[in-house]
Amino acid sequence: MKRIILLALLTTNVVVNTVAQTKKELRDSIVVLAREADLHPDSIELRLRKAALNLQLEQWQYAKEEYDNILTLFPNNATALYFRAFAYERMRRYDLAKNDYEHILNRIPGNFEALLALALVNQKMKRHTEALDQANRLISLHPNKALAYAARAGIEHERGLLELALYDYEEAIKRDNKNTEYYIFKVEALIDLKRYDEAMRELNQLTRMGVPRTELGELYKKCKKR
């Protein structure tokens, strides 16, 4: 599940750009925004900003409640639906997350972020066939997106479809050859396939790309234990 979680996090961005803050500063900002939102109850911007800070503090329930407030007024707001679904995922309420992602796709068919998230949440729910079908659709609609191939590879890897996963990791790397996570996932697939020499070459490539060898120590050990 590790690679699925990493890919899910890669797809999730906070809805506002904020300067790095301490937890206390974030909590203080939430108090200020909550007061402003009370004065301007119809302001989506204020509520989205507050909910984004709740997410940064991993206050999933508070974030979810703020998105509920927005969706009561504007039930088709895609941003609120997407990030409420993310909050539901973090609370392991996968069925509710699935509903929100599907709501977005009903309104915006083929939306990359929602379709990717839906594929990953179905994988978490052990709906493997649905997850793979959605990953296939994602690639057919967005064939130039490296993350689409990486996501499908992650699903295939978890299901033990190692040759298919390896192919898709390579396709992801072709489209984004700077992303070291894709190389690491490829190395893991090669090790699972017992193709240790190839895995070692990929690890050496990662060190040339600037990844500290110490971070790759466990993978190097697996290659040497063959």
The answer as to whether 218 is a domain residue is yes
Is the Cβ–Cβ distance between 170 and 186 less than 8 Å?
A: yes
- What total of structural domains would you count in the chain? 1
Of the pLDDT bands very low, low, confident and very high (cuts 50, 70, 90), residue 1 is very low
Residues in CB range of 107: below 8 A, 6 or more apart:
76, 78
The answer as to whether 55 is a domain residue is no
pLDDT, one tens digit per residue, over 87-129 is: 999 999 999 999 999 999 999 999 999 999 999 999 999 999 9
Domain limits at 171? 160-225
Q: What is the reported pLDDT for 15?
A: 43
Residue 57 has pLDDT above 50, yes or no: yes
Helices (H) and strands (E) in the chain, counts: 13, 0
The answer as to whether 5 is a domain residue is no
Residue 34 has pLDDT above 80, yes or no: no
Sign of the dihedral defined by the CA atoms of residues 151, 156, 157, 158, in that order: positive
The answer as to whether 125 is a domain residue is no
Residue 28 has pLDDT above 90, yes or no: no
Q: Map residue 74 onto helix, strand or coil.
A: coil
Calpha distance 6→151 (Å, rounded) = 10
Token pair, residue 28, equals: 């203080």
The answer as to whether 117 is a domain residue is no
Q: Map residue 21 onto helix, strand or coil.
A: coil
The answer as to whether 87 is a domain residue is no
Q: What is the reported pLDDT for 44?
A: 79
Residues in CB range of 195: below 8 A, 6 or more apart:
none
Q: What is the reported pLDDT for 19?
A: 46
Calpha distance 32→11 (Å, rounded) = 29
Calpha distance 65→131 (Å, rounded) = 28
The answer as to whether 213 is a domain residue is yes
Calpha distance 72→22 (Å, rounded) = 31
Give me the percent of the chain exceeding a pLDDT of 70: 81
Calpha distance 76→106 (Å, rounded) = 10
* DSSP single-letter state for residue 125: T
Calpha distance 207→202 (Å, rounded) = 9
Decide which of 140 and 17 is more confident: 140
The answer as to whether 203 is a domain residue is yes
Token pair, residue 68, equals: 């509920």
